[in-house]
């Protein structure tokens, strides 16, 4: 069977458990990226099977149902936060709700163009403006300081692909991870620019990433406490919760993880303040959002 870059495939040796797309071919080995999970793997060509059209349609249907459910939970959460902000901003007089809001500035670095597009589409659906950039994981530590100084974001997302390999070491060995060391270095570079955990909030990691090392490096939120796979869109939901929570309020970790697709086994962090600021009066020509 002939394969080309972009083909959707599964692995026979893993009982066809995950849908991958081929990102590169090197002799008789394929580099694989999870279609919806931030996992990178390699496999012999003879271990691969092309996904059928029926399998792809079934996967897309299940994925849409999962995303729609998570988005509904987020919208319910957002509506409650909005009602609380409205009440507090007007001291209970809803008829005088003449205020504007300044949400967070977001910088999203992604090691996968395909995932980056998916994330930007979801940011737009949620109503957040984001500066999204495709950067290979190994280049992130070199690029991030200049980007933070130029864009001056409130929230930085550092993500892409990763994987843990028992053959390379135990789970406490950074060398046993495909890209965790780059994420850790990028977090450290970001913290050299802004050390305050509430002035610059960082999410870092991908599938099976070294969670403890990322948190020690200065990330507020990271993956993956149980070394499991995380969904490509999980960083967006974490960002949205932080961006739409008032800077006067703490965001508890359990609240942040509530609307993610992976949950606490794949994601974790520390309590962090929100970023949303409310002002009055609302003037349409000032470029603010009501």
CA distance 277 to 290: 12
CA distance 170 to 218: 22
Q: At 258, is the secondary structure helix, strand, or coil?
A: coil
Q: How many independent structural domains does the chain possess?
A: 2
Residues 35 and 119 in one domain: no
- Tell me the average confidence (pLDDT) per consecutive run of 10 residues in the chain, 290 residues long: 87 86 88 83 89 82 75 72 62 59 90 90 88 97 97 96 92 94 98 96 96 97 93 88 88 84 90 85 57
Does residue 289 lie within any of the structural domains?
Answer: no
Does residue 31 lie within any of the structural domains?
Answer: yes
- Residue that the structure tokens 């990330």 belong to: 219
Q: Could you tell me which residues come within 8 angstroms of residue 138 by beta carbon, excluding any fewer than 6 positions away?
A: 179, 182
Does residue 284 lie within any of the structural domains?
Answer: no
Provide the pLDDT for residue 83: 65
Q: What is the DSSP letter of 91?
A: T
Provide the pLDDT for residue 15: 84
Residues 78 and 25 in one domain: no
Asked if 237 and 118 count as a contact pair (C-beta separation under 8 A), the reply is no
Residue 127: which CATH number?
3.40.50.2300
Does residue 153 lie within any of the structural domains?
Answer: yes
Q: What is the DSSP letter of 52?
A: P
Domain coverage including residue 255? 61-279
CA distance 104 to 200: 10
Asked if 195 and 180 count as a contact pair (C-beta separation under 8 A), the reply is no
Residues 223 and 253 in one domain: yes
Asked if 133 and 109 count as a contact pair (C-beta separation under 8 A), the reply is yes
CA distance 280 to 97: 9
């Amino acid at each position: 069977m002939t394969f080309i870059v972009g083909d959707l495939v599964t692995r026979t040796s893993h009982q066809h458990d995950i849908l991958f797309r081929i990102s590169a071919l090197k002799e008789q080995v394929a580099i694989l990226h999870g279609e919806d999970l931030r996992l990178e793997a390699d496999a012999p060509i003879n271990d691969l099977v092309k996904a059928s059209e029926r399998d792809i349609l079934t996967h897309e249907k299940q994925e849409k149902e999962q995303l729609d459910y998570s988005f509904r939970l987020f919208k319910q959460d957002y509506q409650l936060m909005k009602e609380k902000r409205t009440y507090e901003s007007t001291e209970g007089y809803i008829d005088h709700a003449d205020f504007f809001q300044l949400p967070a500035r977001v910088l999203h670095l992604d090691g996968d163009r395909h995932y980056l597009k998916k994330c930007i589409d979801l940011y737009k659906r949620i109503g957040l403006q984001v500066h999204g950039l495709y950067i290979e994981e190994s280049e992130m530590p070199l690029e991030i300081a200049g980007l933070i100084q130029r864009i001056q974001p409130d929230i930085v997302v550092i993500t892409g692909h990763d994987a843990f390999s028992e053959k390379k070491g135990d789970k406490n060995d950074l060398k046993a991870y495909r890209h965790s060391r780059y994420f850790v270095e990028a977090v450290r570079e970001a913290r050299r620019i802004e050390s305050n955990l509430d002035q610059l909030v960082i999410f870092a990691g991908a599938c099976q990433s070294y969670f403890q090392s990322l948190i020690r490096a200065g990330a507020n939120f990271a993956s993956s406490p149980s070394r499991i796979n995380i969904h490509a869109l999980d960083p967006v939901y974490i960002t949205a919760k932080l961006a739409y929570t008032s800077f006067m309020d703490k965001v508890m970790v359990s609240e942040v993880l509530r609307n993610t697709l992976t949950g606490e086994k794949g994601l974790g962090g520390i309590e962090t303040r929100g970023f949303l600021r409310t002002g009055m009066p609302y003037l349409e020509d000032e470029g603010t959002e009501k």
